[in-house]
Structure 1
Amino acid sequence: MTETINVSDDRQRVNKFILLLLLAIAMCLGSPAAVIANEFGFVEDDLPIVLSASRLRQTINKSSASVTVLDREIIEASGARSVVDLLSLVPGFQVGRLSNGIPVATYRGQSERFNPRMQLLIDGRPTYVPLYGGIPWGELPLSISEIERVEVIRAPNSATFGPNSFYAVISITTRSPQSDAGWIVEAEAGGNDYISPTLSYFGKWSDIDFRINLKTEQDQGFDGIDDRERAKQAGFRAHKALNNTDTLELATGGIVGGHIERVTVLEPGDLTNYLVATNHYTQMIWERSKSTDESVRLQYYYNYLKLDDRDIREFDLGVVTQNPATLGIPFTVDIDRRAKSTRHEVEFQHNLRVNEDHRVVYGAALRRDTVQGRYIFADFDERSILSQRVFLHSEFQFNDKNTVNSGVLVDHNDLSGVSFSPRVSLIHSLRDNQQLRLGYSRSVRSPLSLEEEGRIEFIYQLPDGNNLTLIDLYDEQTLKPEYIDVVDLGYFFVSSDGSLTFDAKLSHQKLSDQIRTARNENFDEDVIDGEARFFTNRASSTLNSLEFELEYKPTDRSRFRLSYSYAFDENTEFANQMLTPDHTLSLFGQMKLNRGLNLSAEYYYISDWIWDDVSDQSNVNRLDLRVEKTLKLGTVEASLALQGEWRLGTNVDYLERNQIEDLYFAKLTLRF
């Protein structure tokens, strides 16, 4: 077929490009000049500090796992309009939109719309939704302008953050109330009738620093499809220093948004309701910090998600049953997709230095989740899930060359009982500026209430008063947790002046007891087609991958990044399904010119792959360019940014119906 030939040609071109790129990098890192320079003047403290890999402050070269750091400069220069957009800059990440209001992100593929194998934390608060699993990407009460920094742990991390920190963990730090002062007004508009004004205020009342953020957003979505999206959000964060060691923080916020709940259907009259989601949170943190290595932290947070989606539709019985004898007989269906979930959690954490060579962090947490939904459980009962966990991490430096990171988390919950998540890594310094890391980690994903007890049924009400029941999903059996085991070998290099860093990782993963749906074709309870789906532990898979990140800062006014991931030797069943793309590539460049002019560019390429809940092949081949001009107008600092996003060849976003167009945006920012 023609498509197969094109895919092959694309892969050959990309393979040649990657080979040349690897040779160039090897020549650069292996040059004698670089080695000689590394013996003079290298300062490890100049490297980024990561906090989320093990809950210990570690320089990125001695982190217990591979971490990508996106700072505020990159976030602003990228022109990203959502968190999902930012993740395109991370090696191995794929993002897409099933429809405009349904963004999805995954690491190394093998994902669908509701991806229960990722974890996102905002200021240490997990956003995972127990209702359907995964992250509510389209209903996050967070704007890009609030983000100070993003850390992405590109490895399983249940040992640190508990079950469901499975494929990767994204940890977002928002801007502190002390980081700015005054008003910031932003207004962005562009393609697909996108309009988004944002108002922020950084202030101080007595001895309390605070930040307020208000935002609205609307977007008409893909051309030719009614997938409009609307959202209004607000956020508040306050910080108070009690004394020299103790602080209190309070954060609260929420979003009310709506989008067309259009999945894979296209015909007029299909079930494409307008879903309204309400997502809000409250978070309180007390922290006592005696030094960088000794602190106590107590956190409480509350998450709430409510989905409003109900519609009564009329259909033709003959069309639904495909029985000509019943054509023309009308019937109604009450489609009630209303649902809600809550989460309360209290977590204690203690960091301390045992001696000069040994640091530890330990803690415990209690959690209560509730889920409720007629659509997914066929009743209105509220289900409660209690969880308890304890964790311990240790960093021990044997000598100047070798450091061992180890940790374990033990979790108990009402659905799957007790689970253990261990991790260990050995870091060996070849030189001060070069480290090797050998690591092993195991993560757990507990079954969801939907997977254990879910029952999705449609009751068709006939004119004669009788009902017909179509069952789409039923609970069949007790499920086991999923497990993922990963062994990786990492290498980190930094030049003597810190202008060049290179981070590479070769890993092997095995995913066991994967929970997937199967179909029962002889289900007697379904009187319409006799079929229904159920969840079962029915799949396992293996995957190897090579990833690297290269960042080069030739001057303090220019910056270049390259991120690449190559997946290979996936087991045959999953390879044939194309659930993981072979190649994922992103390039980023930024130059700060004179007179407040900034230029930036990004290039994204992802080879063919398929999201697990559709059959269309996705691919990405896109170029973004952005120019920004900043100037002072009296006491006001103003900046205007123009951005273009161009297709380079064929692009398919999740489904072929989602027509990708060249898009243009403008953004005005005022600070006063």
Structure 2
Amino acid sequence: MALRTYNPATMRAYSFRIAKTADKTAGHSGLAVALPFLLALLVAPAAAQEVSEKDYFDDLPVVLSVSRLAQPLKDVPGAVTVIDREFIRRSGARDLTDLLRLVPGFVIGHINGANPIANYHGDFDALNRRLQVFVDGRSIYSTLLAGNVSHPMMGMVLDDIERIEVLRGSNSAAYGANAFSGVVNVVTRTATDVPHFSASLALGEKGIADRSARVAWGDERLAVRLTAARSGDSGFDDVIDDKRVDQFHLRADLRPSAADDVMLTAGSVRHQWGATDMLRSENWRNVFVQGQWRHNVNADNDIRFNGSFDEEKFIDQIYHFTILGVTRPYRADGTGRRLSLEAEHTTRISPSLRLVWGGQWRHEEIRSPDIFKEQAALSAELRRVFGNVEWRLGENWIVNAGAMWEDHSVVGPHTAPRLSLNYHVLPGHTLRFGSTQAYRTPTLFELRGNWQTPSLPGSLVLASGGVKPERLVANEIGYVGEFRSLGLTIDLRGFEERGSSVARYFGGYPNDVVNKDRYRKRGWETQLRWKPRPETQLLLNHTVLNVRSWATGDTHISDEMIAPSHTSSLVWFESLPAGFEFGLSYLTYGAMTWGGKNDVLDTEPRLDLRLARRFKIGGTQAEAAVVTHSATGSYQDGDPRRYFPRRAFATLRLDF
């Protein structure tokens, strides 16, 4: 993955989103209109590229989100994949989930064409409730939809992203209950780091119609960025799953003094789609505000305060047929709110010892008579205290020791510790040994859900409230090696993850939520990035995973195949003469089940291709590209009845 040295100032970033619903675009018509125009641009006179790639692979990056301390990758207590904006641009991806399929250990699937799922080392159901995702330090999981991050992950414009840090493994010691299986930290671009005006358009097969516009102004003391975007497609073949995502982002960066940075965001996202196999219309909306103040006391002390408020609304009207043939709707509507306040202090105690510590208070409430059978709002509070110490034992040994204590108003307290030891064997070569314990706190739906669907026997959920936090103990050994003379970096990770008290919907009619099973995951991952010459960049990922499950009944088979036994991906970027660029990504994987079902998916590979050309029109920097996803044809992706289709589209981006 393209790795680059990072300026920590860009971590202080926030986004604003407001959304509208787009009109449906017909299947192939968009590509037919766009291709002739964009192909003409591809052969237009070339201009020199303004973005230098000289340092693209030169140095390992500084990572900010693992221990909450800014650390070079060789000192981090975990395996991290960093995706920078150059990789995002050249990947041809349309959303965040599409990028994560190229991260070792991640499993990507779809409930249908409108609802992608991304999780690390598989999951035991079709909800993304064990993965923590941040956007500029704001957690984006759904309070209402059982901790799911799938809908919020679609509420990002990829052109606005500076970089993505993906910790491959649990990090409850730094970020608490939601960081159970992994952490994805998205850092967006500052307003001073983007063109004053940008516009992009993508049109193609399967109704693809993506468009965005961005305007930025200001200086180092006050800068503002506004981004509006609308995207959509017609989903998978033979399924009612048209998707539209509308969003609007605002980010303001203020620097009132040399020692202070203030960041403000507010926004809205709307995800609207049709649902599979029934007369159903679903609509998820999210609005949020966020503020952060960072004060630099001196060279050795930094204080940060962060606060955010999220509100989401879900409208889900479902029609079913009674025995008498009368069509009657039932609903799963609701509103969720979350208020989070956090303080953090980073200090250097001595030349060899650094400490970050702080606390967080979070309040959540849900109002949904449909799924709780209560008119009043249900609420819960969470209090956290966390800390991490980086201790340098001489020149070659680094100890990271940290923990988070959490107290949930319904479930009670628990503690998640971590201990990691990094040994620099030689300059550029590091061994890492680590152990951590993680918990996942049940959501309000898992604790108090009462969702009745009388005409669909077996689907009623009536939670008794007895479910306890899930528990995970993970041990790993890793190696990071730089071979600068070869332009090669290797990242290896071997792991064992032991989970217990897995929360399941169990009982048939009604379904309770209970802690039922335990499991063990073992395997290894490798990430190899190679730049044999300035024009060529290669990324090779490979994961081997073995799952042992002690589940009972019908869940045993699906548990042991919740993720492929092996996954491999290859990314190849090539800079061609006359301003052309070529990109290829290839993904192949072993057999697996999906979403707690025993149906085994086919193991068809996926091949994506991209041909682009960067050029100038007067003073405007432009890029035209033609992209094909799944060029080898459709393949099973998630639900065994659903096939991700081959689709081609063309893009045009203008930076003024």
Partner of 1:616: 599
Partner of 2:316: 309
Aligned partners of 1:354 and 1:360 also within 8 Å: yes
Partner of 2:525: 547
Partner of 1:491: 479
Partner of 1:115: 128
Secondary structure of 2:88 counterpart = helix
Pairing 1:152–2:166 present: yes
CA RMSD of aligned residues (A): 2.1
Aligned partners of 2:113 and 2:644 also within 8 Å: no
Residue type at the aligned position of 1:515: A
Pairing 1:562–2:502 present: no
Secondary structure of 1:608 counterpart = coil
Pairing 1:594–2:577 present: yes
Q: Could you list the per-position Cα deviations for residues 86-127 of structure 1 after superposition, in whole angstroms to 9, with x for gaps in the alignment?
A: 101100101111112211111111243222110000001001
Pairing 1:288–2:298 present: no
Partner of 2:42: none
CA distance in 1, matches of 2:320, 2:410: 38
Q: Could you list the per-position Cα deviations for residues 390-424 of structure 1 after superposition, in whole angstroms to 9, with x for gaps in the alignment?
A: 10100001111211000010001112110100000
CA distance in 2, matches of 1:575, 1:544: 17
Q: Aligned-pair distance for 1:663?
A: 1.4
Residue type at the aligned position of 2:106: F
Partner of 1:279: 286
CA distance in 1, matches of 2:441, 2:422: 30
Secondary structure of 2:643 counterpart = coil
CA gap 1:366/1:638 in 2 versus in 1, 3 angstroms: same
Aligned partners of 1:141 and 1:234 also within 8 Å: no
Pairing 1:475–2:458 present: no
Secondary structure of 2:86 counterpart = helix
Secondary structure of 2:349 counterpart = strand
User: What are the within-5 Å matches in structure 2 for residues 55-204 of structure 1?
Assistant: 55-139=68-152, 140-204=154-218
Q: Could you list the per-position Cα deviations for residues 630-662 of structure 1 after superposition, in whole angstroms to 9, with x for gaps in the alignment?
A: 111111111101111235477211123323332
Q: Could you list the per-position Cα deviations for residues 592-641 of structure 1 after superposition, in whole angstroms to 9, with x for gaps in the alignment?
A: 22322111110111211111244433345111111110111111111101
CA distance in 1, matches of 2:608, 2:457: 50
CA distance in 1, matches of 2:81, 2:303: 26
Partner of 1:453: 448
Partner of 2:431: 436
TM-score (norm. length: structure 1): 0.85
Q: Aligned-pair distance for 1:157?
A: 0.3
CA distance in 2, matches of 1:332, 1:385: 37
CA gap 1:451/1:572 in 2 versus in 1, 3 angstroms: closer
CA distance in 1, matches of 2:454, 2:477: 54
Q: Could you list the per-position Cα deviations for residues 530-588 of structure 1 after superposition, in whole angstroms to 9, with x for gaps in the alignment?
A: x3211111100011010010011223332111111100252465773211210111111
| Greater alpha carbon shift after TM alignment, 474-483 vs 197-206 | 197-206
CA distance in 1, matches of 2:66, 2:58: 18
Aligned partners of 1:177 and 1:211 also within 8 Å: yes
Identity %: 26
CA gap 1:280/1:409 in 2 versus in 1, 3 angstroms: same
Residue type at the aligned position of 2:625: A
Residue type at the aligned position of 2:590: S
Residue type at the aligned position of 1:628: A
Count matched residues. Answer: 593
CA distance in 2, matches of 1:236, 1:477: 40
Partner of 1:50: 63
Aligned partners of 2:74 and 2:430 also within 8 Å: yes
CA distance in 1, matches of 2:425, 2:388: 25
CA distance in 2, matches of 1:253, 1:106: 26
Q: Could you list the per-position Cα deviations for residues 120-169 of structure 1 after superposition, in whole angstroms to 9, with x for gaps in the alignment?
A: 00001001112223344234431111111000001110110111200000
Aligned partners of 2:388 and 2:401 also within 8 Å: yes
CA gap 1:192/1:406 in 2 versus in 1, 3 angstroms: same
Q: Aligned-pair distance for 1:388?
A: 0.5
CA distance in 2, matches of 1:620, 1:93: 17
CA distance in 2, matches of 1:470, 1:492: 49
CA distance in 1, matches of 2:624, 2:499: 47
Match of residue 237, structure 1, among 251, 261, 286:
251
Q: Aligned-pair distance for 1:671?
A: 1.1
Match of residue 509, structure 1, among 483, 489, 497:
497
Aligned partners of 1:88 and 1:94 also within 8 Å: yes
Which has the higher relative contact order, 1 or 2, with Cα contacts under 8 A spaced 6 or more apart? 2
| Greater alpha carbon shift after TM alignment, 650-659 vs 445-454 | 650-659
Partner of 1:29: none
Partner of 1:37: none
Residue type at the aligned position of 2:510: A
Partner of 1:217: 231
- Following TM superposition, the consecutive aligned residue runs of length 4 or more in structure 1 with deviations greater than 6 angstroms are 468-471
CA gap 1:620/1:237 in 2 versus in 1, 3 angstroms: farther
CA distance in 2, matches of 1:543, 1:469: 34
TM-score (norm. length: structure 2): 0.87
CA distance in 2, matches of 1:569, 1:458: 34
Pairing 1:518–2:502 present: no
Residue type at the aligned position of 1:440: S
CA distance in 2, matches of 1:252, 1:484: 35
Pairing 1:228–2:242 present: yes
CA distance in 2, matches of 1:63, 1:655: 36
Partner of 1:580: 563
CA distance in 1, matches of 2:528, 2:297: 36
CA distance in 1, matches of 2:140, 2:169: 18
Q: Aligned-pair distance for 1:206?
A: 9.5
Partner of 2:48: none
Secondary structure of 2:636 counterpart = coil
CA gap 1:639/1:647 in 2 versus in 1, 3 angstroms: closer
Gaps of 5+ in 1: 1-43, 318-328, 461-467, 521-530
CA distance in 1, matches of 2:643, 2:380: 41
Aligned partners of 1:141 and 1:279 also within 8 Å: no
Gaps of 5+ in 2: 1-56
CA distance in 1, matches of 2:542, 2:389: 31
Aligned partners of 2:128 and 2:149 also within 8 Å: no
Secondary structure of 1:132 counterpart = coil
Partner of 1:345: 340
CA distance in 1, matches of 2:633, 2:645: 11
Pairing 1:300–2:307 present: yes
| Greater alpha carbon shift after TM alignment, 72-81 vs 575-584 | 575-584
CA distance in 1, matches of 2:394, 2:182: 30
